[in-house]
Amino acid sequence: MQFFIITGASRGIGEALATQLLDDNHHIFCISRTSNHRLIELAKEKNNRISYHPFDLNNLSGIDQLFEELFNTIQHESKIDAVHLINNAGMLSPVAPIELNSADSIIENVNINLLAPMIFTSNFIKHTLELNIDKRIMNISSASAKYLLPSQSCYSTSKAGLDSFSKSVSLEQLNKEYPAKVVSVYPGMIDTQLQAEIRSVSSETFPYVDQFIQIAQEGKLQTPEYTADKLIEILFSEDFGSTVVIEEL
Ligand SMILES: NC(=O)c1ccc[n+]([C@@H]2O[C@H](COP(=O)([O-])OP(=O)(O)OC[C@H]3O[C@@H](n4cnc5c(N)ncnc54)[C@H](OP(=O)(O)O)[C@@H]3O)[C@@H](O)[C@H]2O)c1
């Protein structure tokens, strides 16, 4: 049995990832604040295993307990072939010059985009330390980590942090007996709620908003399904982890 822990499975890229990963030999743990009933129903119809854990990633101190629950289930499986973690959940806001962002909004952005994936990774590695199996961590980052725009300082900073974190953990794993492989991926521009959010910001607050509107109008956004397909190709690739930051799908 292969296990997949996917955050942000309620919509967008995470939903497409979980949908495409449904398989007789897979058990998928989905994490987001809202349950995805469409996904749960689909898994039921196909007789595939899904466990949905409604969870707010702002609850950083609750992540240890969440992992106790996940690995209680995993350990009951007689044959564990692989365990994968996909840190996909993310948020864009606040989109505004830094002096206009409240402390709470800055904290929430860094919680969801950076601290939660760090604590998930820590727990994942701790719980799989003694397992001589295939262990893979895929962090969904963003080209915004590298290509900076005004009013996106929180998002860019948290994603750049995620890339550095992936590189650091990847280095650490080189010396481990049963290492986990780690990558950070820029998925492109995808037609999800997150992109709709960018387009809804005023041009006074975000001077580049018209360019994002134009990209959408010209049909240049990828579908979540296409993106998930490419991400899964990377996840299952032979050389997963050989390049830590993957900038193009
Ligand atoms: N779309 C793009 O063009 C694009 C480009 C580059 C990178 N990305 C990255 O791709 C990833 C997925 O984004 P998307 O476009 O699919 O966005 P989306 O459609 O807005 O989905 C975001 C997901 O994150 C979850 N999430 C947000 N806040 C959460 C919280 N506090 N606790 C738990 N879950 C939370 C949401 O679930 P709930 O609301 O149900 O909690 C939802 O499932 C993100 O990391 C994003 O930064 C996207």
* Any domain includes 216: no
Which pLDDT score, from 0 to 100, does residue 160 have? 98
The residues near 175 (Cβ < 8 Å, ≥ 6 apart) are none
First to last CA, the chain: 27
- State pTM to two decimals: 0.98
* Any domain includes 22: yes
* Any domain includes 62: yes
State in Å: Cα 189 to ligand 1 middle: 13
State in Å: Cα 79 to ligand 1 middle: 32
* Any domain includes 198: no
3-class secondary structure per residue, 39-75: HHHHHHHHCCEEEEEECCCCCHHHHHHHHHHHHHHHH
Q: Which atom of ligand 1 is nearest to the CA of 33?
A: 41
Average pLDDT in the chain:
98
State in Å: Cα 176 to ligand 1 middle: 31
Which pLDDT score, from 0 to 100, does residue 151 have? 97
* Any domain includes 99: yes
Angle at 175 between CA 171 and CA 177, to 5 degrees: 130
Which pLDDT score, from 0 to 100, does residue 78 have? 87
Name the residue of 19, 57, 144, 192 to mutate for ligand 1: max ligand atoms within 8 A of Cβ.
192
Residue 204's Cβ-side half-sphere holds a number of Cα atoms within 13 Å equal to 1
189-246 tens-digit pLDDT: 999 999 999 999 999 999 999 999 999 999 999 999 999 999 999 999 999 999 999 9
Q: Which atom of ligand 1 is nearest to the CA of 92?
A: 47
Name the residue of 7, 56, 88 to mutate for ligand 1: max ligand atoms within 8 A of Cβ.
88
Q: Which atom of ligand 1 is nearest to the CA of 13?
A: 16
State in Å: Cα 84 to ligand 1 middle: 18
Domain total of the chain: 1
Whether residue 135 is predicted with pLDDT greater than 90 in this model: the reply is: yes
Q: Which domain holds residue 41?
A: 2-188+223-246
CA 82, distance to chain mean position in Å, is 18
10-54 tens-digit pLDDT: 999 999 999 999 999 999 999 999 999 999 999 999 999 999 999
| Closest Cα to atom 8 of ligand 1 | 142
Name the residue of 37, 91, 138, 247 to mutate for ligand 1: max ligand atoms within 8 A of Cβ.
91
State in Å: Cα 241 to ligand 1 middle: 23
45-78 tens-digit pLDDT: 999 999 999 999 999 999 999 999 999 999 999 8
Pocket of ligand 1 (CB under 6 A): 8, 10-14, 32-34, 56-58, 88-91, 112, 140, 142, 187, 189-190, 192-195
Tell me, what amino acid is at 55?
F
- CATH classification at residue 48: 3.40.50.720
Dihedral sign, Cα of residue 92, residue 139, residue 187, residue 231: negative
* Any domain includes 193: no
Instruction: Please give the biggest Cα pair distance in the chain.
Output: 58
* Any domain includes 40: yes
| Closest Cα to atom 42 of ligand 1 | 8
Residues labelled catalytic = 155
